[in-house]
Structure 1
Amino acid sequence: MQPSGPSEVPAETVRVARAAFPRGSLAIRVRDELGPLFHDEEFADLFPVRGKPAWSPGRLALVLVLQFVEGLTDRQAAEAVRARIDFKYALGLELGDPGFDFSVLSEFRDRLVEADAGRRVLDGILAAAGEKGLLKTAGRARTDSTHVWTAARDVNWLERVAETLRSALNALAQAAPDWLVQVAEPDWFKHYATRAEDSRLPKARTAREEMGLLVGRDGMRLLQAVWSTQAPQELRTLPQVEHLRQMWVQNFHQVEGEVRRRDPKDRPPGATCLVNPYDIEARNSVKRDTTWAGYKVHLTETCEEDAPNLITNVATTDATVPDVSMTEPVHARLAEAGRLPGEHLVDAGYVDAHALVHARREYSITLTGPAALAVSPQTAAGGGFTGADFTIDWKDEQVTCPGGRTTTRWNPDRSPEGTPVIRVRFNKSDCQPCLVREQCTTSSAGRRLTLRPREEHEALRQARADQDTDTWKERYKTRAGVEGTISQAVQRCGLRRSRYLGLAKTALQHQLTGAAINLARIDAHLTGTPRARTRTSHFAALRPAEPKLDGAK
């Protein structure tokens, strides 16, 4: 790669573009307002020092973003560079520039994935917007997540194990064909030479279970052969063989020398359970009524009235990672990029006591979101006592219950997740004669409490009190706007369906999606396009206001 500095748009390209687009276009307006968004030097580490000269990586990065803005395939994007005046204008190309072969885009994406350089594309647009005063990060930001389906087709259990075995056989046939011919059973060529979907799988449940056990026995024999002393050791390091090993460990075991399918309770948790033979990093997850196999993406954006709402951070995880686990990583990334907000609006999934304290202490951020209420069998039935009804003396390490009894049984401990907690226990002799015992506990051994450290306990208690006020509710309304951002990303860029296999490539897709949405919003800001308002049907608008209960604020 031979870096070249940012170039001016050729005069002839300017003349033709102005004539063809007298009102401008997104690509033209973005180039006029922000100038060259990327420079070749930013991607120099992705290319070798010697070899055939590469097409400008700075321009390729912009092509990738414009491709997502307009929903183009690689062929269509390469054709647009070759034939469209506004693309040539945005890229600073001569009218006669032939562009590049469409395969260059795939090769450049692979380079970005290998170096985990997708963030550079999003950061380049944010840096240019910041220089023009279009990015304001010191105020408020909001974050939400949504599910992403894997690009691989959905398969049932029988297809999953059969395709995993077929993939391993194909890899071994390439790496050690002579060895494989010696160990392969004659029936393997009949059962695994073609895709499972091309075969007539049995419909009866018993027949399908028997076929699954046959695949399990064949896979077990292959694994034993690979790990035998006669097999070349390098075969064990093949990705497809390792995938086969993991799939068989999770789905089969041997009982008295016979291969059996594992019971559901004997299988690994969702975070490690392989669910697709084509995309080994995809995971199954459930959120309310939505069940999917794939990933999850978290979008963070600014939300100021006098500037475009720009996406400042995109984080992609597998589908099983809970939202609350991403609160701190999102803050860390925003701090690293210098884009920390003063207030961060999130939904309930991102809030817990630790997150509230950590955001304030480490990043000076006010984390605003609904805190989960205390739940117990007594409160679920109504009228029971929660931890908030107990008086805590932090200095003397003792707790007084609503019935007036005090305990000093105060034991620092760790939760199953490893976080510090305090275990408090009341004596049986205190709880048995208590007049309000039924409202407090059903245990015959006495009431037990699990407390967080003081700072977290008080932060959570304050958050629960604040979220019942009208001031907090009015301020929190701003968070709802991020739902529109997810909708725009889904409809314009196909956010909820991965275009590629694997977490790294899916993460790059989401970085490019964030960059594309930012360009579209900057263009809307330049043209004075008003933000869309939440649509309410004519019938829904007639809904009468619900009457407030007595004593309600």
Structure 2
Amino acid sequence: MGWVSMSMRPAGDGEVPGETVRVARAAFPKGSLAIRLRDELGVLFTDEQFADLFPSRGRPAWSPGRLALVLVLQFVEGLTDRQAAEAVRARIDFKYALGLELDDPGFDFSVLSEFRDRLAGADGGRGVLDGVLVAARAKGLLKTAGRARTDSTHVLSAARELNWLEMVAETLRAALNALSRTAPDWLAGVSEPDWFQHYATRIDDTRFPASRAKRAEVAERIGRDGMRLLAAVFAPDAPDGLRDLDEVEVLRQMWVQHFHLVEGEVRRRDPKDRPPGAMRLVTPYDTDARGSVKRDTMWDGYKVHFTETCEPDAPNLITNVTTTLATVQDRSMAETIHTQLAARDCLPVEHWVDAGYPTAPALVSARRDHGIALHGPIQADNSAQASADSGFTQDAFTIDWDSQQATCPGGQTSTTWSERLSQRGQPVLRVVFSVSDCRPCTMRQACINTPNTKRPRELRLRHHDEYHALQRARTEQQTEAWKERYKVRAGVEGTMSQAVQRCGLRRSRYRGLSKTGLQHQLTGAAINLARIDAHLTHTPRARTRTSHFAALRPADQGTVSGAK
């Protein structure tokens, strides 16, 4: 997106004009969120924080520090850009929070979109969230040395979800429209006559045939048309610059992922012949979005991780927000989150997460690198012996780390100790016993747990620190004390609900990972302001809702099976 050349001019000393103060006090004798936050936290953002986003010359821009506050207040109240710009012009409490004169005309609503583009391009959303955290810390409202909790949730792409036929057809149509703008005469010469019939209008206006055979024919026709267009674009006599168009590159990637030539004919790729989900495009209109599945939920888009404090005597404030592609697993995020918390000086002593996050490497690195005790349900031993609930699991073996040997319950020692990689690419130790020791062993059936096999017992162990970290965690998590303490993690689900209901977290407002990440940083900042205001007004935290019928459940009866 092109920007008008605008320079930044500092907005002044940050004092609220006297007349604005007088009128605001008269109009809001009990205050309002915007007024209370200005009184308590002062100026959250200065123009100097955003100086690197603007050139030194050009038309003066509206104060970026004030624009940052407008963006956060916009998310607090769920306003559109037009409504937010109107609030700056017309609302006294907004003028008070921004330190504006009563007759200040504000700005055109399009300024907010341009400013978001600048922030997204420079990862400026982190600075906005940091501004709120710095102010909260200065007032003693942010306590980070105790406990924190993290959870993730799915976020739908701003682009409409498309079925497969719609996706490839819309990709081709988008490329044709882009080429029409860039080289209309050339495209008119290479287009097939029926292209205008099939791709001149939106694909959702098209009624595809119901039968599978007919739909396959349509798919092959779309595949042939796309191949012809790509061949023309990449031909030596094609105009310069066509292959550099974003829409053409998306068309090329989409066709590589879904079509190939079989004996000179265009055919759809077999599902096993397509790239993994982390690489596969799902729409031509949001090329960062990816398709993913978590239990019964399927979605195209992204995933967001919120980390918040959870202390009883202070507001629960969001200290970190991380947005990823939908295909990034929670198990890979613990170290990233801890590194980001360390950069903000917000590391907790205890970090409570759900079962998706803790791994052996994460437990070790959290303690070693950051001094954090990472708590979350550890994946159970998935060996055949553990799954069958019979036989000797790894716990039945004695490991001599110095001698690099394992001793089985029958007293035999291993003969092989070597480095390997697990199926997930993690370094493990492969420990193998001798065939001559295993075959005649009287405990063979309980140990091997696999009939009709001549192979000896084999162990896959984590390295020393990871192995013992897993053992300690699994032992601790069996205690009633740990289970009681783990209940603190459930509160973060309320944060997700608040973000969804108040700030529209479930669907991205914008297209692309960087802008979606900015939306989530602003969401975190907005929730923090709402919670600080609730703390200032002594508003009690909402209790978990219980239906009238659920309240009748006897005290000794558990929750319904499968309920969370």
Q: TM-score when scaled to structure 1?
A: 0.97
Which range moves more in the overlay, 71-80 or 413-422? 413-422
CA deviation map 1:154-207 (0-9, x unaligned): 111111001001111111122222322222212212211111112232222221
Question: What's the counterpart of residue 238 of structure 1?
Answer: 245
Quote how far apart the aligned CAs of 1:90 are. 0.5
Question: What's the counterpart of residue 543 of structure 1?
Answer: 554
Report the Cα distance in structure 2 between the residues aligned to 1:505 and 1:398, rounded to whole angstroms.
52
CA contact (8 A) 1:397 1:408 kept: no
Read off the aligned partner of 1:545 and give its amino acid letter.
D
| Secondary structure at 2:84 match in 1 | helix
Does 2:156 align with 1:145? no
Which range moves more in the overlay, 376-385 or 295-304? 376-385
Quote how far apart the aligned CAs of 1:416 are. 4.1
Which range moves more in the overlay, 35-44 or 273-282? 273-282
Read off the aligned partner of 1:543 and give its amino acid letter.
P
Does 2:464 align with 1:454? yes
CA contact (8 A) 1:251 1:267 kept: yes
Instruction: Count residues with an aligned counterpart.
Output: 547
Does 2:413 align with 1:421? no
Query: Unpaired runs of 5+ in structure 1?
Result: 548-553
What is the correspondence of 1:499-518 to structure 2 with a 5 Å cutoff? 499-518=509-528
Does 2:273 align with 1:266? yes
Q: Percent identity?
A: 70
Does 2:424 align with 1:439? no
Equivalent residue for 1:62, pick from 42, 66, 69: 69
| Secondary structure at 1:186 match in 2 | coil
Does 2:106 align with 1:106? no
CA contact (8 A) 1:160 1:275 kept: yes
Moved over 6 A (4+): none
Read off the aligned partner of 1:267 and give its amino acid letter.
R
Which range moves more in the overlay, 243-252 or 223-232? 223-232
Equivalent residue for 2:398, pick from 391, 394, 413: 391
Equivalent residue for 1:498, pick from 502, 508, 512: 508
CA contact (8 A) 2:415 2:434 kept: no
Does 2:303 align with 1:296? yes
Report the Cα distance in structure 1 between the residues aligned to 2:255 and 2:46, rounded to whole angstroms.
48
What is the correspondence of 1:308-327 to structure 2 with a 5 Å cutoff? 308-327=315-334
Equivalent residue for 2:377, pick from 363, 370, 378: 370
Question: What's the counterpart of residue 561 of structure 2?
Answer: none
CA deviation map 1:374-401 (0-9, x unaligned): 0222322222322122111111111111
CA deviation map 1:442-476 (0-9, x unaligned): 14211111111101000011100000112211221
CA contact (8 A) 2:433 2:457 kept: yes
Question: What's the counterpart of residue 529 of structure 2?
Answer: 519
| Secondary structure at 1:350 match in 2 | coil
CA deviation map 1:316-358 (0-9, x unaligned): 0011100011110100011111111111111111101000000
CA deviation map 1:7-38 (0-9, x unaligned): 21111111111111111000000000001110
Report the Cα distance in structure 1 between the residues aligned to 2:507 and 2:283, rounded to whole angstroms.
15
Read off the aligned partner of 1:299 and give its amino acid letter.
F
Quote how far apart the aligned CAs of 1:544 are. 3.6
Does 2:336 align with 1:329? yes
Report the Cα distance in structure 1 between the residues aligned to 2:33 and 2:387, rounded to whole angstroms.
55
Report the Cα distance in structure 2 between the residues aligned to 1:426 and 1:227, rounded to whole angstroms.
59
Does 2:477 align with 1:467? yes
Does 2:174 align with 1:189? no
CA contact (8 A) 1:427 1:445 kept: no
Which range moves more in the overlay, 286-295 or 3-12? 3-12
Question: What's the counterpart of residue 550 of structure 1?
Answer: none
Question: What's the counterpart of residue 218 of structure 1?
Answer: 225
Query: Unpaired runs of 5+ in structure 2?
Result: 1-7, 559-564
Quote how far apart the aligned CAs of 1:538 are. 4.1
CA deviation map 1:209-233 (0-9, x unaligned): 1111101001001111112111234
Read off the aligned partner of 1:339 and give its amino acid letter.
C
CA contact (8 A) 2:247 2:284 kept: no
Equivalent residue for 1:346, pick from 329, 333, 353: 353
What root-mean-square deviation, in Å, do the aligned CA atoms of Structure 1 and Structure 2 show? 1.4
